[in-house]
Amino acid sequence: MNEPETIISVRDLGLSFGPKIIQQNVSFDLRRGSIFAVMGGSGCGKSTLLKSMIGLLRPTAGQILVGQEDYWAQNDKRRTEINHRFGVLFQSAALWSSMTVGENVALPMEMFTSLPPDVIRRLVELKLGFVGMEQAIDLMPSEISGGMRKRAGLARAIALDPDILFFDEPSAGLDPITSARLDDLILTCGTDLAQPS
Amino acid sequence: MAGPPQLFSQNMAATPPAGAGQPGNRALLLPHIMTDHTAHAAPPHPAPPAEKPVWTLEGDTNAPQLVLRGTWTVQSGGMAPFPTDGLAQGRDHSTLTFDTQGVTGWDSAFIAFLWDVKQAAGHAGMQFDPQGLPASAQRLLALLPDAPASGKTASHKPAPLLERVGDKTLSVLNETGTVTELALETAQGACKTLTGKSGMRLKDLASDIWNAGPSALLIVGVVNFLVGAILAFVGLVELRRFAAEIYVANLVGIACAREISAIMTAIVMAGRTGGAYAARISTMLGNEEIDALQVFGIPVSSYILLPSILSLGLMMPLLYIYGTIIAIFGGFVVSVSMMDISPLGYLNTTFDGIAAGICVRLCQILLFCQLYRAGSLPRGPAGRTECRGCGDCRHTGGGDRHCRHYRHGCGVCRYGHGAGDLR
């Protein structure tokens, strides 16, 4: 049986803040349809590694290959195009606080697609429905709980139907029950959304 | 099984609870985690004064023992450090033990002292045996590393002057580059706005305009009103000496329209709206919202900076005009109440004194057009306004029949005397 294709390869990656080395010689492959977890103690550089993989922090050494392309060797425009294959759920959900939950999910579609507003609205309802947040479409991020914010962040992350979903400590700050539900949701996203049949 | 948590601090009995210092005594809580339950259980009598913390090193060099007595709390002076060389006389590989039977209370100060002792024992090559310490103190001490982290603040030497100058220069250049890049991106976004391709949401622009404009009316109004009023009051007191009170109107009008209102409005807006923008962007940065924008490829300059800058650019001139009007009104209120001058006369003198700023002139024209159009000055049968005031118009040549302040044909008496009532 053939192995799924590799969609991201990290080769000898080094990360540092000034003279302080955070990571060095990090290498791994991510395959389509798989769930890959990076674990470690607090402050060991997990989020920093994630940031370098999604274009927020340039590594000091090594390569990140997305498909066959060296991500950090591309220009800004190309990196932005590659980023559209990514969906990211940040540790704090990072919902844009001046927008409603629905607007948060809709903004990437408005910016990067030419879909009419009514179609975008239906898609937003769909994405929020996936995460059980359809009733909160018109609420502001400050009006919902931490778990709901995470789910709304997940709905935004899958707004553009990305190939790869990144989660930065998705269950941080959540109670065990909410955390377990979010884990189920992530599993569903990883299996059913990534490989629709 | 151990009993319920016991409180062992200076607020409790002078003698330690039974079992203090024994490994089996499980809960000696620090005061900062004191529960209401234990606090309420304290006896109603005032607590005895705390004994001063005392330590002595006893035993011989082969088996030194540190004897601790008194109340080891921050409040009772228990934060005195243990000398680094306090155990220098002990032999290598000897074991340091403790006797804490005389300890009547303790908090973090006790642990800090023991940590010092532990480090001194390490320096002297001695074994540190914590068995004689209270069980809670043993557990807390076990959480601490053998030595404090070598903090930069403790032993940080300032970098050489040349290095500091170089660092500062690079930092300034870096910041200049960042600001320039942002400014260029914003300018680019502004150009794209003209073609509708900037990515800026009109909703954000409207929100920022509301925050920068109407929401700031109160503070801008209050500041400018006070500036105008103070200027008029001070000017009036001084100009009265020279019988030149009427020039207060010019003073307030010219000063506010040309300089002060613009500066005050700018300062208020920089503090209020600029501060709000900085706080919002900082909050977005802390909440990873900026990161989220960057990952999606949404330009921060177009999304955040452009609406803010455009809204300020649109609102500042309007706020300046509003501030000028309010400042003049402030001067007007003070002058009319302290001078023998009519309101319209004051306003007319004010606008006479203001050099031809287009906006101000426009407001003046609009204001007075509306005022007279509303019929506040009735017209005579010949269509000319006639005066019932002081009756000495210097323009009409009508001398005894017209007010001297009446301007022929313009319909305005600079002192605001009414028309239609011939003297």
DSSP state of B21: T
CA of A79, closest CA in chain B: separation in Å? 9
What order do you get walking across the sheet with B65-72 strand by strand? B54-58, B65-72, B95-106, B127-128
Quickly state the pLDDT bin for B46 (edges 50, 70, 90).
Answer: low
Residues A108 and A191 in one domain: yes
Quickly state the pLDDT bin for B373 (edges 50, 70, 90).
Answer: very low
Lowest mean pLDDT among A3-7, B152-156, B171-175: B152-156
C-alpha to C-alpha distance for B165 and B183, rounded to whole angstroms = 26
Question: Is the confidence at residue B31, as pLDDT, over 50?
Answer: no
pLDDT in tens, B317-343: 999 999 999 999 999 999 999 888 888
Question: Is the confidence at residue A94, as pLDDT, over 80?
Answer: yes
> Tell me, what's the ipTM?
0.87
Helices (H), B68-107: none
pLDDT at position B45 is: 54
Count of domains forming chain A? 2
Residues A140 and A188 in one domain: yes
Residues A40 and A121 in one domain: no
Residues A167 and A138 in one domain: yes
Residues A2 and A43 in one domain: yes
Which of B174, B185, B205, B296 to mutate: most A Cβ within 10 Å? B296
- Domains of chain B, by residue range, sit at 6-148, 216-353, 378-423
Asked if B292 and A98 come within 8 Å (Cβ–Cβ), the reply is no
C-alpha to C-alpha distance for A184 and B309, rounded to whole angstroms = 44
C-alpha to C-alpha distance for B362 and B359, rounded to whole angstroms = 5
Residues A92 and A189 in one domain: yes
C-alpha to C-alpha distance for B306 and B70, rounded to whole angstroms = 66
CA of B294, closest CA in chain A: separation in Å? 7
Mean pLDDT, residues B294-323 taken together:
88
Among the partner-chain residues A55, A81, A91, the one whose CB lies closest to the CB of B295 is: A55
pLDDT in tens, B176-221: 998 898 888 888 888 877 777 767 888 888 999 999 999 999 999 9
pLDDT in tens, B253-300: 989 988 899 999 999 988 999 899 899 989 998 889 999 998 988 888
The dihedral sign for the CA sequence A154, A155, A156, A160: positive
Residues A71 and A100 in one domain: no
Taking phi over 0 as left and psi of -120 to 50 as alpha, with beta for the rest, B160 belongs to beta
User: If you write DSSP's letter for every residue of B112-161 in order, what string do you get?
Assistant: HHHHHHHHHHHHTT-EE-GGGS-HHHHHHHHHS-SS----HHHHPPPPPH
CATH number, domain at A21? 3.40.50.300
A21 lies in which domain range? 1-83
Residues A31 and A94 in one domain: no
Residues A121 and A192 in one domain: yes
What order do you get walking across the sheet with A20-31 strand by strand? A20-31, A6-17, A61-66, A69-70
pLDDT at position A1 is: 53
- Taking contacts as CB-CB distances below 8 angstroms, the residues of chain A near B199 are 111
Last residue of a domain, one of A83, A104, A127: A83
CA of B145, closest CA in chain A: separation in Å? 17
Question: Is the confidence at residue A191, as pLDDT, over 50?
Answer: yes
Residues A90 and A71 in one domain: no
Q: How many CA atoms lie within 13 A of A59 on its CB side?
A: 27
- Tell me chain A's radius of gyration from C-alpha atoms: 17
C-alpha to C-alpha distance for B335 and B237, rounded to whole angstroms = 11
